[in-house]
Chain A
Amino acid sequence: GENVEQHPSTLSVQEGDSAVIKCTYSDSASNYFPWYKQELGKGPQLIIDIRSNVGEKKDQRIAVTLNKTAKHFSLHITETQPEDSAVYFCAASGYSTLTFGKGTMLLVSP
């Protein structure tokens, strides 16, 4: 089955800096890669996703890049704000269910 590795486990940045979270996957058949933001005590919220036929996707301060050859994808957050502090999960799927990474706790200090 699919295996998703996510790094780093914790990331601390100053407000206004950029943050990058990286994930690798093992199954070359995976073709859908979403990112979720989870605040304490809440369910995960889909923030951006990318399909395998696209190399990059951007939505305001958030962007995701995908390298199919290397089987890795990354989340980029620019101009971070304290409200970006949360746990971020990457995931990958092919024809079945999503496989999640272990999460990255992002801490943005004012």
Chain B
Amino acid sequence: GAVVSQHPSRVICKSGTSVKIECRSLDFQATTMFWYRQFPKQSLMLMATSNEGSKATYEQGVEKDKFLINHASLTLSTLTVTSAHPEDSSFYICSVRGTVYSGEKLFFGSGTQLSVL
């Protein structure tokens, strides 16, 4: 399967600061990446679809000015949580859709635990 690297794995920040999370596809070029959010003991909630070279597509209810997504290259997508507040504390996970060989298989990064104080 695809190898997806996500960094950092854990971040603690003060309220009002911005946090950037990186997601890298290590073994193939990914035109599409996805960003999910997961609260404790809950399922994965799709936040947005990141498309290389174009604007991200956000799911209903997700503030695009709050969660900035940049997919500047075929191997890197970033999620920036701007002016973070305690309610933004969550587990953020990126994913990559597999190559033509694996069809629509989705491979996930290791996740980033964000804690906003």
Contacts and interface: CB of A to CB of B under 8 A. Distances in A.
A58 B87 CA distance: 42
Contact of B105 (A41, A46, A97): A46
A100 interface: yes
Contact of A43 (B41, B46, B109): B109
A100 B34 CA distance: 14
B34 A97 contact: yes
Contacts of B91: 41
A1 B73 CA distance: 31
Contacts of B4: 43
Interface in A27-60: 32, 34, 36, 41-46, 49
Contact of A89 (B41, B44, B46, B104): B44
B44 A41 contact: no
A45 B44 contact: no
A43 B36 CA distance: 10
Interface of B is mostly: strand
A36 B105 CA distance: 11
B1 interface: yes
Contact of A41 (B6, B108, B109, B113): B113
A72 interface: no
A89 B105 CA distance: 14
A25 to B, nearest CB: 14
Interface of B: 1, 4, 6, 34, 41-44, 46, 49, 91, 93, 95, 103-111, 113
Given A34-B106, A44-B44, 19 more contacts: A41-B91, A41-B111, A42-B111, A43-B4, A43-B6, A43-B93, A43-B95, A43-B110, A44-B93, A44-B108, A45-B108, A46-B107, A49-B105, A89-B43, A89-B44, A93-B104, A97-B34, A100-B44, A102-B42
